[in-house]
Amino acid sequence: MKVFMTGASGYIGGTVADSLIKAGHPVAALARTEDTAARLRALGIETVRGELSSHSVVRNAARNADAVINCANADDPFVVAAIVEGLAGSGKAFLHTSGSSVVGDKAAGKASPKIHHEDTPFEPPPEKIQRVAVDRAVLASAAQGVRSVVLCPCLIYGEGRGAHADSIQVPNLIRQAVRSGIPRYIGAGENIWSTVHIDDVAGAYLLALEERLLGA
C-alpha cells in the first residue's frame, strides 16, 4: 500500500515514515526543497516536490496514493482541503496529526483531576480554535467518502528514526537546564504532563491505518 505523507522530514513524520517502510508500505513524501528531498530519498522515501500551499501537487499526490498521513502543520486548513479533494469519494484512509493541547488549560503549575476521554465534550482555548476547526474538517470529510482519523498525541519523547531525531519540548528543556544549571518549572510544579514515546506514537499510526483499511 502506497502512503503519501506530509511532514515526513519532521520528528513525528520521520518516525512514522520509517515504521511504514519497515512494515512493507512504500512512502512518498512532500519535499519543499531539494536538500529535504535528498535527505528523504536517502531514507528510502520517494519524494514529491512542492509546498503545503501547492494545492494541485498535494491533491494529485493524495489521489495517486492508497492512503494519506498529514504530519505537517496541524493548523493549516488549506493542505487538509487539498488532501480531502484528492481523496473524496475514494474510501481511502486519511490520518491527520493534531495534539492533546486542544484540551489543555492554563494550569500555571497547579494539579487538576480532570481527565479527557475521546468523546469528552470540550471548548478549545482561544489559541487552539483554528486547530480544532481543522480537526473537525478532517472528521467531516467522512461525508465525502474519506476514512478519516485525527490523532492527538500528548508530549512526545524519545529519539526519532527519521531525518529529524529530536522532539521540540524535552530536548529544549534539558538544554536550558544544562546551560543555566537550574531545571525550571512553573508555579508549584504540580501540573501533570501526559507523555508518550515516539515509537508508540508511530505504532498508533499504523494501527489507525490498518483499522481504516479494514473499513472500521
Angle (CA) 133-11-86 rounded to 5° is 45
Alpha-carbon 63 to chain mean position: 20
Hey, how many other C-beta atoms are within 10 angstroms of the C-beta on 189? 11
pLDDT band at 185 (very low <50, low <70, confident <90, very high): confident
Residue 20, C-alpha cell as written in the block: 511504514
- Model pTM score: 0.91
pLDDT of residue 120: 87
pLDDT of residue 192: 84
Going by DSSP bridges, is the β-strand pair 147-151/93-97 parallel, antiparallel, or unpaired? parallel
Instruction: Give residues with Cβ within 8 angstroms of 172, minimum separation 6.
Output: none
pLDDT of residue 86: 98
- Give tens-digit pLDDT for 90-130: 999 999 999 999 998 888 889 888 888 888 888 888 999 99
Residue 49, C-alpha cell as written in the block: 516536490
What type of residue is 141?
A: S
pLDDT of residue 34: 96
Instruction: Give residues with Cβ within 8 angstroms of 112, minimum separation 6.
Output: 105, 191, 192
Average confidence score pLDDT of the chain: 93
**121 phi and psi angles, rounded to 5 deg:** -65, 145
